[in-house]
Amino acid sequence: MAQNKTQVTATDPADFIAAVDHPQRRDDAQVLDALFRHVTGFQPRMWGPSIIGYGQYHYRYDSGREGDFLATGFSPRKANQVIYILPGYTDFGPILDRLGKWKKGKSCLYITKLADVDLSVLEELIRAGLDDLNSRWPVQPT
């Protein structure tokens, strides 16, 4: 079976954040790094060339496919911050209703700037996503 395309790399997350071109994205990434460290208690690791992940889990599907993936994290992209906190198992609508301005992808949120969201609600959402994921697949520190 094929492995995940997104694997842990040796890149230092702090170096990656420091190299973000857009000043607002870089500043927001520093805030997000501190927030994710605080909420998860995990040290960040780079997953692929552009995702900063906190914690990881091993999954095994009924089909036999298995692998490891980041438990939660973010990526400072050109147009917005991509927040990976929605494992897709649970409806977090009541929390998202209080978050602020965002768009939803399949398993992520797109936030243009952190000033558009309530960071305490984002913290709550990260914790809820991790707790939900951990109830299905044990989350391990990175």
Per-residue confidence in pLDDT tens, the chain, 142 aa: 567 788 899 999 999 999 999 999 999 999 999 999 999 999 999 999 999 999 999 988 888 888 899 999 999 999 999 999 866 667 889 999 999 999 988 888 999 999 999 999 999 999 999 999 999 899 999 8
pTM of the model: 0.92
Distances (CA, A) of 69 to 60, 84, 102: 11, 11, 24
Domain that holds residue 65: 23-135
Residue 89 falls inside a structural domain: yes
- Asked if the structure places residue 53 within a domain, the reply is yes
The total number of structural domains in the chain stands at: 1
Instruction: Let me know if residue 7 belongs to a domain.
Output: no
* Any domain includes 142: no
Q: Is 10 a domain residue?
A: no
65, part of any domain: yes
The pLDDT of residue 8 is: 92
> Could you tell me which of 107, 59, 58 has the C-alpha nearest to residue 86?
107
pLDDT of residue 120: 98
Contacts of 99 (CB under 8 A, 6+ apart): 109, 117, 118, 121, 122, 125
The answer to whether 137 touches 58, Cβ cutoff 8 Å, is: yes
Domain assignment present for residue 42? The answer is: yes
Please report the pLDDT score of residue 6 as a whole number. 87
In a domain, 93, yes or no: yes
